[in-house]
Structure 1
């Protein structure tokens, strides 16, 4: 150990007696100081001049993907380390001093470890410089995220150590330092790209993916310490140090080529074996250092996974012709990474991928792209286009024999299966994100963990249902499989309800939706619906101005009424006056998280969301039936009234006529009712416009109006399900949002870090080098 220490001290002194180490250190301080100070100064300017304020300052300074300091340091290390390490051993061979080392009472292990320790001490100096930036930021940022930032700094030092080990090994292979530097660049490139090699072969995929360096440091920079990544840096550094030690030992020994190769392979195989063991899900441990726990499942998702006793299998079916999302066998590891957070809490999860080709029945893209070709011919062309092998894909007959995916339209889909036979699907969605988020994945898993709310949509008397495809129906927001926020994708069980089947169908429901029936209910049906309400179950009633009378018997039970006439507002640009824009009330924002968010969206001053109702009836309380009434939506201002005369709102101009009872003022367009009934917390929502969550309205865009109706649907059913669904995947807000630095102070710090500190290092380096030369 004493010999290793002496060599390390000598190596460190030699580094600082050469201009290369000083120049690299000065350049390092200049580049990192400039990068840190520029962001710090920009944030100080933004805080002083902008009214929006700051948020997540620690992230923006250090680990933000587009401008954080840590990512810049990783790129600098990539360029710096080959220059720093290229002469560690090669110069010993080049100068002939290696013979002196071989003649000394030390082994190759002492030489390699001593030189490696010397370089790591140099790395500690660089780390100390970075720590100065951390301390500066920590002293100025309120509630600074010390743990997250220091976790990133740990990752940088581990990366430096691996680069140093690789550089030392490459330096031991040649007498030319420049060749060692080029060789290191080449090897680092291989380690960055190796994860994409032979990914279609399961065994090779595990090896190449583990060997890959790409993204390992980013895990630390993001604030996550994963045992697999820690062991990766330790094992890979030890492997290259072992290679270097073996190389120096073989310089002293006479050994055949196969003997040398066998010894190198022995080290390599041991490293791979250790890597395989430490990368198994059961062997991993994690620490998320972020305040908001961005790298971990939310508490709601953790609770769901904790209730999943027994095994879980996830099988992803990938169609070669998938229209929304697709992948090849080479991308399996990237797709598996999406579920790492779940496997962390349920490591016994089994994951499989099945590739097949079949016509996507939800689109006619196949006919347009491959006119006149058979499915087999088109599959061959598509496989060539995606640079994959068609032999890896099941034929339509083979996939149909394995599983029936016709209901899913033969799209990209993941099937979840439990040991007890329960199944659920995770889908992809026709939006800009395409892939499922934590909310959708956890909602699917929650089906296994507990009984979820069952929602029935009444289809009697031509009420708006979930089985129709008309604009007035609710199929899109309820049962559209490619719509992320549809109820089925958020975990709800949804059924079509026909009162003619008997009262039993209502007994199985938790929520019943009755949306604008166009015919009156029979006496028996009113009795069934009245009993449903008296049993304390949740309900949604949605009417329209011309047809609301069919709901009057149910409204009487609730002590409410729809006001006569059509609700109108001051005309909005070119739109008719019966296009009503509503907003969330003060009383609504306190009933649930979703309503609070929606309140913020509708009340903000700049580009607020509007809850659009194209033809609404106002709602009023007629009598007290024991409910607590909560106004949920109201018109945006007091300029509206119930229009009693106008019929053609598109061509006619509405005018307030007080002589016939028209009175201007704010009106309620949606109300909530709540009470304790039959041991349940009963919740009921009444809307004055059934169109506001219809297929036609949710698919409509209007110039100058930002609709929030999709958010409204989530708010409604979150409250009606007592917060069970959608799954709450919200996280705490960042608290490091205040910077104790002025614009002038930011400019001063930038000058000090970018110019004065590098200049001081330059002066110190010149003094040391001149003194060395004088000696």
Structure 2
């Protein structure tokens, strides 16, 4: 140890007597001051001038993509080759390596001593970064210390790995510049190696674990994972061992095969330890962020806790998938999307089945590929994705797989889909969606897992008498928000079970429902059917009733049973721009704000500012009112935006004619209610009923309509209604605590002063100290 300490002290002194080390330190300090202090001053100016509120300042300063820590990791990549290129190569070029070899020390002492010296220099680099952390702790209210310091820990581990790589490369050549170039090449290889041989199961785990790319990002984001810590320790140790071997082999005679065996032995040991520590069951995590942004929310953790027994996720990937796709080379990256879930159930098995299938009988296929067989088309598609068709099952083979598994991929459109299976036999599909994100987020993944963990609410849609259908494709139907598998917000993808209900053919199905939806039937119910509906209401289960101005009369008996009625006429309000008067813009009431978390969110969305850029649109509604007390607690949920609304009884054509208030025919202006919520204790259940005056507000036609100047929040309305019906069970609540570091304790002047100090004075002070040290050294 004494020899290692002496070599480390000598190496550290040599660094401080080197202009290169001082220049790199000054450059690093200047860049840090410019990046950090510039951002801090910008936030101070933003807060003082009140242009926009601040949010999560700690994250924006340090661990956001444009924060300080990602920038530092990039600077290390460029600066470390210059710092380490002469650690041992200079000993060769000067001839001083002979003195070291003649001393009573081994290559182990030389390598460890020099590595210790460069790591002590790294503590100075960390100290400079710590200055920025301390300044931020002073300037930011409720600063997120733990997350920021976790990022600093990761950067020091990255520095240590770079130092080990640079030390090894400097043993391979007498020329420092060659060592620097070689280090850059090796680091590039370590960053890109995750994409090598990923299609082979044997090498997939090895090359993916070896990859340096993104390793430090988990620390920067505030997550400490034992695998990442051990990766830096193992890889640093491996390169140090390589350096020791290189020096020792210079002092003894050994065949090429003997040298290769020793190097290979070190590599194999490192790979074995890496594979062992990367197993999910071996990993330990700590999320140091205040909001626990790197961890599943509590709701998702509760779901995972209920999934006892084995769990398997089989992903079926069609070569001709049209929404989202991956190849055999991207399996590990796709598995990373489930890392947070595997953390809480490490025994989860992940499997991938690749196949190719397309409907060759369609005119589109024949037109696109007029002169090729399907096999030729598949080969071309595989080449286009830089993979081999032999890795994919044929249509016949995937058909056998479907039979063996008891699934039908045609129901999923042969798209990218994941089958989740429990050991007990429950199954659920997890899909991809036609939107910007494509892949499922925590909400959808947890909903799919919850479906196999427990019984979820079942929603039935009445289909008798031409009521709005949950599977129809007409503009008036509801399939987009209920059963459309490629729509992320569809009830089916949010965990709800949905069923078609017919009072004529199978009235007993109501016994299995938790919510019944009756949306604008176009014929009256029979007396027997009304009795069935009345018994359903008396059973205490939930109900949604939606009407329209021309057909609401068919719901009159049921409405009377609830103590309500639809007011006659078409509800209109003062026209907005060029839109007809019957296009109602509604708002969430104050009384609805507190009935659930999503109703509160909806209230905030529609009341965000005085302009109310987001509205709840009802294109043709009737007003709803209570006429008798049936034991319900009645809550107005949506009303007209102002008191200038009335029931129009005369105008029929709202496009070519103008609706005018006429008190003589009974039209009265005021705030009109378009949605009511009813609640009571009934049959041992907390019964909830919603009645709304526009069955179109969540139809396919409405969601495909765009109106200039109006932003619809109707999608949020659907989620809020069914969240209330399910008592907050669905959609999954993945909300997190809000960040509290949302303000600065400094103003613009202090921010500007700190920028001058950190960007100019601090580097200038280091320049002065370095100049004095170097001049004194030269004098000696």
TM-score by length of 1: 0.99
Residues 1:573 and 2:572 are matched in the alignment: no
Contact 2:147 2:289 in 1 (8 A): yes
Question: For 2:69 and 2:729, how far apart are their aligned partners in 1?
Answer: 40
**Aligned mates of 2:364, 2:171 — CA distance in 1:** 57
1:612 aligns to 2:611 (yes or no) = no
Instruction: Give matches, 1:666-705, under 5 Å.
Output: 666-705=671-710
How many Å apart are 1:372 and its aligned residue? 4.2
Query: Cα deviations across residues 431-453 of structure 1 (Å, max 9, x unaligned)?
Result: 11111111111000001111000
Displacement, 1:369? 3.7
Asked if the contact 2:36/2:68 (under 8 Å) is kept, the reply is yes
1 CA distance for matches of 2:613 and 2:447?
A: 29
**Which one is further off, 367-376 or 6-15?**
367-376
- Distance in 1 separating the partners of 2:703 and 2:361: 20
Cα gap change, 1:735/1:683 in structure 2, threshold over 3 Å: closer, same or farther? same
- Cα distance, 1:207–1:422 mapped onto 2, change above 3 Å: same
Aligned position for 1:103: 102
Q: Does 1:4 align with 2:9?
A: no
Q: How many angstroms apart in 1 are the aligned matches of 2:464 and 2:478?
A: 14
What displacement does 1:167 show?
Answer: 0.3
Q: Does 1:468 align with 2:472?
A: yes
> How far does residue 371 in structure 1 lie from its aligned partner after superposition?
3.6
Q: Secondary structure at the match of 1:70?
A: helix
Going from structure 1 to structure 2, the CA distance change for 1:167 and 1:705 (only over 3 Å counts) comes to same
Any idea what the Cα deviations from partners look like across 1:675-703, whole Å, max 9, x if unmatched? 11111110000010000011111121111
**Structure 2: how far apart are the matches of 1:324 and 1:122?**
50
Instruction: Give the stretch that moved more between structures: 535-544 or 548-557.
Output: 548-557
Deviation larger for 180-189 or 695-704: 695-704
Separation of aligned partners in 2, 1:135 and 1:693: 52
Match of 1:310?
309
Q: Is the 8 A contact 1:192 1:212 kept in 2?
A: yes
2:271 aligns with 272
Equivalent residue, structure 1, for 2:42: 42
Give the SS at the match of 2:636: strand
Q: Structure 1 residues 301, 368: CA separation in 2 closer, same or farther (over 3 Å shift)?
A: farther
**CA apart distance, 1:360:** 6.4
SS of match in other structure, 1:11: helix
Equivalent residue runs for 1:123-162 within 5 Å? 123-162=122-161
Q: Please list, as runs of the form range in 1=range in 2, the aligned pairs for 1:486-525 lying within 5 A after superposition.
A: 486-525=490-529
The CA deviation at 1:607 is 5.4
State whether residues 360 and 409 of structure 1, in contact with CA within 8 Å, keep that contact through their aligned partners in structure 2: no
1:165 — aligned with what?
A: 164
Match of 2:712 among 696, 703, 707: 707
**Whole-Å separation in 2 of the counterparts to 1:64 and 1:279:** 26
- Determine the structure 1 residue equivalent to 2:487: 483
Aligned mates of 2:201, 2:361 — CA distance in 1: 31
C-alpha contact 1:321 1:360 (8 A) present in aligned 2: no
The DSSP-based 3-state class of the residue aligned with 2:492 is helix
Distance in 1 (alpha carbons) for counterparts of 2:459 and 2:516: 6
Q: How does 1:28-107 map to 2 (within 5 A)?
A: 28-65=28-65, 67-107=66-106
The CA RMSD over aligned residues, in Å, is 1.2
- Cα distance, 1:363 vs. partner? 9.5
Q: What secondary structure does 1:626 align onto?
A: coil
Query: Which residue number corresponds to residue 534 of structure 1?
Result: 538
SS in 2 for 1:673: strand
Deviation track 1:459-484 (CA, whole Å, cap 9, x = no partner) reads 11111121321111111111000010
For residues 216 and 685 of structure 1, do their structure 2 counterparts lie closer, same or farther at Cα, with a shift above 3 Å needed? same
Is residue 647 of structure 2 the alignment partner of residue 642 of structure 1? Answer: yes
Partner of 1:593: 597
Mind listing any 5+ residue stretches in structure 1 that lack a counterpart? none
1:401 aligns with 2:406: no
Question: In 2, distance between residues paired with 1:264 and 1:481?
Answer: 53
> Paired residue for 2:385?
386
1:475–1:695 contact (8 Å) kept in structure 2: yes
Q: Is the 8 A contact 2:615 2:711 kept in 1?
A: yes
> 1:565: how far off?
0.7
Partner SS for 1:690:
coil
Q: Quick check: 2:309–2:424 contact (8 Å CA) kept in 1?
A: no
Quick one: distance in 2 between partners of 1:229 and 1:365? 49
Tell me, yes or no, if the aligned pair for 1:361 and 1:409 is still in contact at 8 Å: no
Partner secondary structure for residue 707 of structure 2 = coil
Report the secondary structure of 1:113's partner residue. helix
Q: SS of the residue aligned with 2:330?
A: helix
SS in 2 for 1:315: strand
Report the CA distance shift for 1:674/1:362 in structure 2 as closer, same or farther (over 3 A): farther
- The equivalent of 1:251 in structure 2 is 250
CA distance in 2, matches of 1:186, 1:91: 20
Name the CA distance, whole Å, in 2 between partners of 1:368 and 1:195.
39
Secondary structure at the aligned position of 2:52 is classed as coil
In 2, distance between residues paired with 1:580 and 1:500? 35
Secondary structure of the residue aligned to 1:610 is strand
**Offset at residue 140 of structure 1 (A):** 1.1
Query: How far has the Cα of 1:553 moved from its partner?
Result: 1.1
1:336 aligns with 2:341: no
User: What is the Cα deviation at residue 393 of structure 1?
Assistant: 0.8
Residue 632 of structure 2 corresponds to residue 632 of structure 1:
no
1:374 Cα deviation from its structure 2 partner: 2.8
Does the 8 Å CA contact 1:413/1:426 hold for their aligned counterparts? Answer: yes
* Change beyond 3 A, Cα 1:645–1:525: same
Match of 1:747 among 740, 744, 752: 752
Offset at 1:51? Answer: 4.1
After superposition, give the CA deviation of every residue in 1:95-128 in whole Å (9 maximum; x if it has no partner). 1111111111111111100100000000000000
Please report the TM-score for the alignment, with normalisation by the length of structure 2. 0.98
8 Å Cα contact 1:4-1:111 kept in structure 2: yes
C-alpha contact (below 8 Å) 1:541/1:685 kept by paired residues: yes
Corresponding residue of 1:547: 551
Question: Could you tell me how far apart the structure 2 residues matched to 1:415 and 1:79 are?
Answer: 44
Kept in 2: contact 1:567–1:616 (CA 8 A): yes
SS in 2 for 1:218: helix
Which residue does 2:664 correspond to in 1? Answer: 659
State the SS of the aligned residue for 2:377. Answer: helix
**Helix, strand or coil: the match of 1:135?**
helix
Q: Distance in 2 between matches of 1:538 and 1:477?
A: 19
Q: Who is 2:22 aligned against?
A: 22
Counterpart CA distance in 1 for 2:127 and 2:368 is 59
Q: Please, which runs of 5 or more residues in structure 2 have no aligned partner?
A: 403-407
Cα shift at 1:503: 3.6
